[in-house]
Structure 1
Amino acid sequence: MSTTRPHVVIVGGGFAGLWATRALANDDVRITLIDRQNHHLFQPLLYQVATAGLSAPDIAAPLRHILRAQGNVEVRLGEVTGLDTQARTVSLRDGGTLGESPLHYDYLVLASGATHAYFGHDEWAGDAPGLKTLDDALAIRRRLLLAFERAEACDDPDERAAWLSFAVVGGGPTGVELAGTLAEIARHTLKREFRRIDPSQARVRLIEAGPRVLASFPQSLSAKAQRQLGKLGVEVVTGAPVSAIDAHGYTLDHGGQGTVFVPARTVLWAAGVAASGLGALLGNQRDRAGRVLVEPDLSVPGRPEIFVAGDLASVQQDGKPVPGVAPAAKQMGAQVAHAIRARLAGQAATPFRYRDFGNLATIGRMAAVVDLHGFKLSGLLAWWFWLLVHVMFLIGFRNRLIVMINWGWAYWSYQRHARIILGGGSARATEPSD
């Protein structure tokens, strides 16, 4: 690979980083794509892995395989530990070794995504895991399946009830999808599989601090989503933020009515995200969530050779922030490639403009809501539309085929093929720490 061509270093193999890489396939540049994982993950279906509907390879693909035909890109497995914007170098920790020669870049793209945000209560993370990676999904799956096993083995009625009490904190799309699917597992998938407990008696709660679930959707669809959740057996609690979480349960703050502790051995976090820590290495201005404030073409102020895209970028459009969703990240990746191409040609890049195609959220079997800028759907038709869109957006024919087969089987049988408890420490992981 020639070293005389401009070197573009892209950090992050998610939607933004991968789309930027692919958009530069025909340009006379050499690209180094860096990621801590060796795969691209289709995050919108991550909850399906967490709830045993899909296996990890169904929604992920190796980066090297995706980019195997793109001759101007090299994939590096490693973690960025430092940036020197003056020398234009990136320091890496690669495979546990330190002290490598830093990578020099002509253009740098930071697209390292986001992580969980606990609003100043990071101590909750161990007892209320979030869902951002495949490791997160597999850990949550262990917790969910082991909770039913612990309940089956428990003789004390109160303790058994605590094991059968599940709470999802956060009423956005991820929280709604997790809660609805968990209710389906308890009421249908596990039917007749236990002898001492009735899984359908599990209590599934969705907790939202705001006045309604799916706040980014029109109020009419939000109300329909809440009714559909109720039909699935999910108890929706709004207007009551969680004020404490430990291994034994959570505390709800009802304002003037006081606080209530609810015993529950499984609490899942879907309430907030924060940008990855990589943005702090730049030293530029960031917003409250840690996202880097960028120029209209997504470059960093004062650093036209550095771009930020995806969940790490703070972008305002028409007085509102661009949402941290997959379509926005893909469009940002394409924009960055356009801006680099313009720089190489000595031209000015056009500003980024997000095209919002609407919002989708599935609630459970044959239940979803769709908002396409005034065209609203809910129920069965919305569910079929949601299925079609997500299958089409998956990378690779194999992934699409496998997901369609698994969803078809689950539709007719209510079964989830990935209900295997993995991990030697999984049993201990659900025990209270006291």
Structure 2
Amino acid sequence: MDIVSTTPRPGQKKVIILGGGFAGLEAAKTLAHHNDFHVRLIDQKNHHLFQPLLYQVATAGLNPSDIAIPIRSILSKAKNVAVHMGKITKVNLAEKWVSGDGGLRLAYDYLIVACGAQHSYFGKNEWEEFAPGLKTVEQATEIRRRILVAFEAAENEVDPAKQVALLTFVVVGGGPTGVEMAGSIAEISRSVIVRDFRRIDPSKARVLLVEAGPRILNMFDEGLAAHAREDLKKMGVEVLTSGRVTNIDAEGVTVGSEKVAARTVVWAATFSLPTVT
């Protein structure tokens, strides 16, 4: 989709913004007040996603439409800002142009790169199949599906060991996303769906939060982190710190040398910057 509603007027400086996240949108809204700039905001999605609440979509607390807002709606009053949905595949800094899918090529005077971050699996990209991250609506709905299907499968499973694995949920990464995700899984299993099944007791589900560092929420005050850990404990979440994940496969997670049988794993660990060449 290529709908560019405005073209630069003579004398206007051309600004290209890559990314419609918080930083990209803020840049566009700021420049919208300066008519000496013509701005094009380019994103692979047509919506801005409020990522801090993705975990609630993943645990059925919110619907995708609650946290995804059309970028065009946000910038509808910005007369000097054009929105383009597409993928940029090349940036030429020397000649000041970008190119992308469908033969797109745009020149610029100023380039703002605000592409956000993506999950990093420490070079083990094959883990993503078994432990999806939580950065997009699609990932959130897939995690939701896996969580709910795990309870349904456990209800019909006659093998005790397989049932335990189905009712074990592992979240890798003790930052804000991981803490919120683990707490939400515990909450739905102990409060929301606790009376919905006949053969299993959802409140007995095991929720394990694995953090490689010495404590969770290491970017926050130690007292706050300790309080959060205590709250998780009260909710029934097991918190394992200094736990390095060495393998993830269809059967579960290996932490150090210990195998944890689990059918649902969520990756909320490290991030890396996307590559634009």
TM-score interval w.r.t. the shorter chain? over 0.9
The Cα shift of 1:73 comes to 0.7
**Distance in 1 between residues matched to 2:88 and 2:153, nearest whole Å:** 40
How do 1:330-409 and structure 2 match up within 5 A?
A: none
Partner in structure 1 of residue 61 of structure 2: 53
Partner in structure 2 of residue 330 of structure 1: none
Partner in structure 1 of residue 266 of structure 2: 268
Of 25, 28, 51, the residue aligned with 1:21 is 28
**Distance in 2 between residues matched to 1:174 and 1:89, nearest whole Å:** 36
Runs of 4+ in 1 over 3 A off after TM superposition: none
The Cα shift of 1:214 comes to 0.9
Identity %: 53
The Cα shift of 1:153 comes to 1.6
**Distance in 1 between residues matched to 2:55 and 2:218, nearest whole Å:** 19
The Cα shift of 1:99 comes to 2.6
When normalised by structure 2's length, the TM-score is 0.95
The Cα shift of 1:165 comes to 0.4
**Distance in 2 between residues matched to 1:17 and 1:2, nearest whole Å:** 19
CA RMSD of aligned residues (A): 1.0
The Cα shift of 1:2 comes to 3.6
How do 1:228-377 and structure 2 match up within 5 A?
A: 228-253=231-256, 259-278=257-276, 281=277
Partner in structure 1 of residue 3 of structure 2: none
Of 122, 128, 133, the residue aligned with 2:136 is 133
| CA deviations over 1:195-229 (Å, ceiling 9, x no partner) | 11111110000011111111112222221111110
Tell me the matched-pair count. 269
**Distance in 1 between residues matched to 2:208 and 2:169, nearest whole Å:** 6
The letter of the residue matching 1:270 is: A
Of 198, 203, 219, the residue aligned with 1:195 is 198
When normalised by structure 1's length, the TM-score is 0.61
2:60 maps to 1:62: no
**Distance in 2 between residues matched to 1:265 and 1:73, nearest whole Å:** 46
**Distance in 1 between residues matched to 2:258 and 2:140, nearest whole Å:** 29
Compared CA separation, residues 120 and 2, structure 1 to 2 (3 A): closer
2:81 maps to 1:78: no
**Distance in 2 between residues matched to 1:127 and 1:121, nearest whole Å:** 11
The Cα shift of 1:272 comes to 0.6
**Distance in 1 between residues matched to 2:33 and 2:26, nearest whole Å:** 13
5+ residue gaps, structure 2, are 1-6
Of 36, 42, 55, the residue aligned with 2:50 is 42
2:106 maps to 1:99: no
**Distance in 1 between residues matched to 2:33 and 2:208, nearest whole Å:** 50
Partner in structure 2 of residue 334 of structure 1: none
How do 1:109-188 and structure 2 match up within 5 A?
A: 109-188=112-191
| CA deviations over 1:180-201 (Å, ceiling 9, x no partner) | 1100000110021111111111
Of 184, 204, 214, the residue aligned with 2:207 is 204
For the residue of structure 2 that corresponds to 1:214, the secondary structure is coil
